[in-house]
Amino acid sequence: MKGTGIISATQQKRQSDEIDTSEKNEIDLSSGARVVNGTIAEFHDFPYAIFIYIDLGTGGEACAGSLIADNVVVTAAHCLLDSKGQKYPAKNVLLSAGSEKSIQTNTNRFSANDTFVFPSFDPNTLVHDIGLVILSAPIPRTIATPIPIYSGEIVDSLSVFAAGWGITSNGPNASISNVLNQVPLKVSSADTCKKLNGYWVNNNNYCVCTANANGQDTCYGDSGGPLVHKEQGIPTLVGLTSLGNAPGNKIRPECGMNGGVAYYTRIHFFIDWISSTTGINKLQLSYPSSNVSNTTVFASANVPPSISAAGASEDTPTLEISAAFSSSYSRNMHLLSIFAFSALIHLYL
């Protein structure tokens, strides 16, 4: 394993601990619980945010994603794979849209027709951590609206913010949030980015580095969620939450630690693959692009159409979460799951 601060994924994810389940772990919204030192989000600011749930029978795993066409969601590759690196069956992938609430209480639920993982994704290093979910049917624009992919240069001064349903504190009993949260982040090209992830090249390559400031950070459970920049007031998708690390090479680095960083897959780096996989012209997916005016809001005709999905169905899946409801967020170069959302709580490190 090259570089310092990188831990083997397979080495870490086999270890497990059981958390005390004597009390139900709930988020008290009145307390202002949020992405670490962020704020509760309003859905109208994130109409493209998607909650992704992998149904594992007695429990599941949770991630986030972003709608980039009416029936195409981009997310982290590691969200779509099991511990052996095999894709979860598409029938086990459920999604919710159109609300700041999690899939437990949001009834706008959709099923997946197929999933795709970038061919050279490495689950041990999380290099090229990007995947796609093709829905069985398009999500109506009255429920959710796609976001264009940012095609501009990534500089340290670029203003960005992230969103997700991940845990909101570093406490041992922390669980994923039942409401969407947002947090402003600081793009960085400091030496720390390379020190804590030897595979990072620069912010215009396959992933973008952000440096923790004011304790603000994404956290476990936010994987796949959007990293956004407003270009002339238009939200554009810069990246997706992939992993994080902090000094000390800990098994489970705390989110928001001083000197820590996070890494976000830079989506436009993979625009050719996204275009060829979905059949959507990359100019329709990007902003700014030659066929989209810089002064035109990315909506209506400028939003990519849905792609055809074999066996498309209008049916919305019924979701019952009877046991542990979990999340998957990769930090320190390994997958971390599962943080429970209900009475049965387990943490797999």
Contact (CB, 8 A) for 73 and 240:
no
The domain of 207 spans 149-267
Q: Please tell me whether the peptide bond between 52 and the residue prior to it is cis, using omega within 30 degrees of 0.
A: no
pLDDT for the residue 174? 72
Domain count, the chain: 1
| Token pair listed for 305 | 């159409």
List all residues 6 or more positions away from 205 whose beta carbon is below 8 Å from its beta carbon.
266, 269
Q: Which residue from 83, 74, 90 is spatially nearest to 131, judged by alpha carbons?
A: 74
Tell me phi and psi for residue 95, to 5 degrees: -135, 150
Contact (CB, 8 A) for 206 and 185:
no
Query: Average pLDDT in the 317-342 region?
Result: 34
pLDDT for the residue 322? 27
Question: Would 202 be classed as within a structural domain?
Answer: yes
Q: What percent of the chain has a predicted confidence (pLDDT) above 90?
A: 60
Torsion-angle region of 136 (φ positive above 0: left; ψ -120 to 50: alpha; else: beta)? alpha
pLDDT for the residue 122? 96
pLDDT for the residue 19? 21
3-class secondary structure, 334: strand
Question: Would 16 be classed as within a structural domain?
Answer: no
Comparing 239 with 7, the larger pLDDT belongs to 239
| Token pair listed for 329 | 């967020």
Q: C-alpha angle 312/118/196, rounded to 5°? A: 135
Question: Would 223 be classed as within a structural domain?
Answer: yes
Question: Would 294 be classed as within a structural domain?
Answer: no
Q: What is the CATH number of the domain that holds 156?
A: 2.40.10.10
pLDDT in tens, 95-146: 999 999 999 999 999 999 999 999 999 999 999 999 999 999 999 999 999 9
Contact (CB, 8 A) for 235 and 216:
no
Query: Average pLDDT in the 260-270 region?
Result: 97
Side chain identity, residue 286: S
pLDDT for the residue 306? 57
Instruction: State how beta strands 131-135 and 234-245 pair.
Output: unpaired
Quick check: 8 pLDDT over 50?
no
Burial class (CB in 10 A: 0-12, 13-18, 19+), 318: exposed
Query: Average pLDDT in the 81-86 region?
Result: 94
| Token pair listed for 87 | 């894709």
| Token pair listed for 234 | 């238009």
pLDDT in tens, 20-71: 222 333 322 222 323 667 789 999 999 999 999 999 988 889 999 999 999 9
Question: Would 227 be classed as within a structural domain?
Answer: yes
pLDDT in tens, 155-212: 999 999 999 998 887 777 777 888 999 999 999 999 999 999 999 999 999 999 999 9
Q: Give the whole-angstrom CA distance, residue 78 versus residue 223.
A: 8
Question: Would 340 be classed as within a structural domain?
Answer: no
Query: Average pLDDT in the 223-247 region?
Result: 95
Quick check: 325 pLDDT over 90?
no
Query: Average pLDDT in the 247-252 region?
Result: 75
3-class secondary structure, 90: helix
Question: Would 280 be classed as within a structural domain?
Answer: no
pLDDT for the residue 30? 26
Question: Would 328 be classed as within a structural domain?
Answer: no
Q: Give the whole-angstrom CA distance, residue 332 versus residue 240.
A: 16
